[in-house]
Amino acid sequence: MSDFYEGRMIPLKIADQAIINCNKEIEKLQIENDRLRTAGDTLVAAYCMGDSNKERWAEYPVVREWLAAKGELP
Distance CA(60)–CA(50), nearest Å, equals 12
Q: What is the pLDDT of residue 44?
A: 92
pTM beyond 0.85: the answer is: no
Query: Can you give the pLDDT at residue 16?
Result: 94
Given CA atoms 74, 55, 40, 36 in this order, what sign does their dihedral have? Answer: negative
Give dist(CA 57, CA 49) in Å, integer. Answer: 10
Higher pLDDT, residue 19 or 73: 19
Q: Are 69 and 58 in contact (CB under 8 A)?
A: no
pLDDT at 74: 64
Per-residue model confidence as pLDDT tens digits over 9-67: 888 999 999 999 999 999 999 999 999 999 999 999 999 988 888 888 889 999 999 99
